[in-house]
Structure 1
Amino acid sequence: MDPVELARGWGVRARSVRRPEQGTNNAVWTLDDTYVLRVYRNLGLDRVLAEHRLLAALGPAGLSFRVPTPVGPVRETADGPAALFEYLPGTAGRRGADGEALGAALGELDAALGTLDPGLAPTDWRVSLDEVHPAVPGLDVLLGDLRAACGPHPGLDRMDRCARETDAAYRKMLVDLPVSICHLDFAPGNALLDGGRVTAVLDFEIAGLDLRVNDLAAGLAQSTDTAEEVAAFLRGYRSRVDLTDAELAAVPLLADLRAMSSLVWRAGRWRTGLSTLDEVVERLDEIALRREFAVA
């Protein structure tokens, strides 16, 4: 795949091309520090168009930071839908160090997403672990396949013990707690900062309907390591969103569920040849070493 040739479909003649240091789901290039070219390897055309409609709806929301702005139409390629975006300058956030600013940005984003029509959600993530990835026929089948491929692993043991109970608790939360459009992949690498201020939030690829507090759980899991970092991120988030006590109490279980969902998603990519077994094992390691979140 030649990004220079591909960019010409939008009338762009790129002179310099570079790849970001992170990101495993899609093919992404920065062109002349003016555009970002993305080829989606996980989503079909309909989902990509839905993501772009959501981004367009966020434009008038009065956010203090920017979100990606598509340039021109989405184009279909042999490798997946391709889209061109305006390049957004800034420095990627740092895990732990920028916690309060990152938490406030996620809270501001969730407050804005909560005002939008749920029909704008590109997908609905209120599903069981069996339904996270279309290439995974069921959790029991997947765990059997992984035991055959990986051998004994404490992450698989924990999945055996906890997955069904965690899934059932989540289903009850869907009845009791607020549901909204969520970003669901908020991490320091998906936020850009300048002088300690968040200037952009990126990567809405997996945005969809879910428990509002699941966005906080995802952000904490991907942005913090210590109790102090959790407290800073949570302080920033709660300056923008008035969480209920029940939502706060749900965070530890949702953090576990996210780790399990991430494993199922990565294993689905492994089953379709898009991820390596080593990447799946990394998710199993995370499940085995799960830590508790103190979110009083």
Structure 2
Amino acid sequence: MVDPKRPSELVTKLLARWCIPAGAVVTPTGHGTNNRTLRVSAGDRHWSLRISKNLTSAQVRAEHRLLAQLTQAGLPFAVPTPVPLPDGSTLADTPGGPATLCEWIPGVRPDLSQEVALERFGRAAAELSTALTDVAPQDTPNDWQGGPLEALPDVAALARDLTAAGLDARRAGTLRDGADQAIAAWKEIVGRLPTQVVHADLAASNVLVSPDTGAVTGVLDFEMAGYWIRAIELTVALALSGAAHGTGWPRRAAAVARGGAWGERLTAAELSALPDLILVRAMGSTLWRADRWRRGRSSLAEVANRLDVLAETLQWRTAEGSDLGHIVAAAKAG
């Protein structure tokens, strides 16, 4: 029987490069589909080992330059701190992708069903946005200036491929309708809003809080960070926290906005664009997952899930989404 705490030969060799003792306990972190992430423990020391499936070594080095700047920014929470190898570098190339070892950040995933937690989440997003203002585009893993629809595939052909694989007609229709509406929305946004470096993936799974006080203790996973529209930080925080859909969403959206004083941070044009940015992001996320499916890295069920989110977003945008900018603007910080 395989011991789940016994590291593989690859992991053992990797840890040896960082001079981690051979008897270290290694366990999966239990979340994430884009990387292999492990918790490493030796005595009272703990680390996180990530083997990236998506980033090149050059992109990881850029991510580490970004993290180095953030550690000097005076943030009230931690960000990953890469541990250097004996030669001073902070990544190790492996057959599975570049590997990074970081100091473990204590905390638990936040419960964003509570308004106070959403306020803290929104505040952390705003604090991070401020800290990223002066980061140079070349010190990030990605350049998102073209937007998520820049390399748009043949949507009709993609819908046919998905249908042939077993996707139902309703979801295939969502793909086509979503693409049409997102493209139209993006044409009204591109080149018209302030830009800066953004984290671009602020979900509950990428935030840690104290189990005792609920205060944010860390923000994780900067592999999606890049130069893009400033307002996308709030856009993603609203979408991935569940604060922009479902029963009672205006109250939850207001909590996120209030926590970070986002109504005062963003311009009128940014506030007006928030509903369309949420739609564009949902479409981009769907196409990204569909591309992974075509490459054999995601299941059809995962694509169907993204299409369900897109369908909900399309309905929300038509029925209620136009209120979002007003809600954010009116949510004054306490």
Q: Given the two structures, how large is their TM-score scaled by the length of structure 2?
A: 0.82
Flag the 1:117–1:186 CA change in 2: closer, same or farther, 3 A.
same
1:174 Cα deviation (Å)? 2.8
> Which of 161, 179, 191 is the equivalent residue of 1:175?
191
Moved more, 260-269 or 2-11: 2-11
Q: Is 2:209 aligned against 1:193?
A: yes
Q: SS in structure 2 opposite 1:247?
A: helix
Contact 1:37 1:82 in 2 (8 A): yes
Q: Which residue of 2 aligns with 1:61?
A: 73
Deviations 1:154-208 (A, max 9, x none): 3432331242442343244232110111101001111111112111110001101
- Is residue 39 from structure 1 mapped to residue 51 from structure 2 by the alignment? yes
Quick check: 1:4 aligned with 2:12? Answer: yes
Distance in 2 between the 1:217 and 1:103 partners?
Answer: 11
Distance 1:49 1:9, change over 3 A: same
For 1:82-231, list aligned pairs within 5 A.
Answer: 82-97=99-114, 98-127=117-146, 129=148, 131=150, 137-194=153-210, 195-225=213-243, 226-231=249-254
SS of equivalent to 1:61: coil
Alpha-carbon distance between aligned partners in 1 of 2:51 and 2:207, rounded to the nearest angstrom: 20
The offset of 1:110, in angstroms, is 0.6
CA contact (8 A) 1:111 1:240 kept: no
Change (3 A) 1:129 1:205: closer
Partner of 1:142, secondary structure, is helix
Unaligned 5+ segments in structure 2 are 1-7, 85-89, 244-248, 327-334
CA distance in structure 1 between the partners assigned to 2:257 and 2:135 by the alignment:
23
**Residue 292 of structure 2 contacts residue 298 of structure 2 at CA under 8 Å; is this kept in 1?**
yes
Counterpart of 2:236, as a letter, is: A
Q: How many residues align?
A: 293
Structure 1 position 122, deviation (Å): 2.1
* Contact in 2 for aligned 1:111/1:241 (Cα 8 Å): no
C-alpha distance in structure 1 between counterparts of 2:124 and 2:177, whole Å: 36
Cα distance in structure 2, aligned partners of 1:146 and 1:114? 40
Q: Say which is worse superposed, 180-189 or 141-150, in terms of deviation.
A: 141-150
**Cα distance in 1 for residues equivalent to 2:51 and 2:163:** 33
The 2-side partners of 1:52 and 1:224 are apart by 30
Q: Aligned to 1:175, what secondary structure does the other structure show?
A: coil
Q: Residue 283 of structure 1 aligns with which residue?
A: 306
Q: 1:122·1:207 contact (CA, 8 Å) conserved in 2?
A: yes
Matches within 5 A, 1:7-22: 7-13=15-21, 14-22=23-31
Give the % identical residues. 38
Counterpart of 1:52, as a letter, is H
Q: Which has the higher contact order (CA 8 A, sep 6+)?
A: 1
Displacement of 1:31: 0.5
Q: Which secondary structure does the structure 1 equivalent of 2:102 belong to? A: strand
Deviates more, 1:156-165 or 1:216-225: 156-165
SS of the residue corresponding to residue 60 of structure 1 reads coil
Structure 2 CA distance, aligned partners of 1:96 and 1:265? Answer: 27
* 2:49 partner SS: strand
- Deviation at residue 241 of structure 1 after TM alignment: 6.0
State the Cα RMSD in Å: 2.1
Question: Contact conserved, 1:114 with 1:180, CA < 8 A, in 2?
Answer: yes
Q: Secondary structure at the match of 2:113?
A: coil
Cα distance in structure 2, aligned partners of 1:170 and 1:31: 43
Q: What is the alpha-carbon distance in structure 2 between the residues aligned to residue 249 and residue 148 of structure 1?
A: 39
Given the superposition, is the C-alpha separation of residues 171 and 110 from structure 1 closer, same or farther in structure 2, using an over 3 Å criterion? farther
Tell me what 2:276 maps to: 253
1:55, distance to aligned residue in structure 2 (A): 0.7
Q: Aligned-pair distance for 1:47?
A: 0.9
1:261-280 alignment, distance < 5 Å: 261-280=284-303
TM-score by length of 1: 0.91
Work out the CA distance in 2 between the residues paired with 1:259 and 1:92. 23
Greater gyration radius: 2
2: CA distance between counterparts of 1:180 and 1:235? Answer: 22
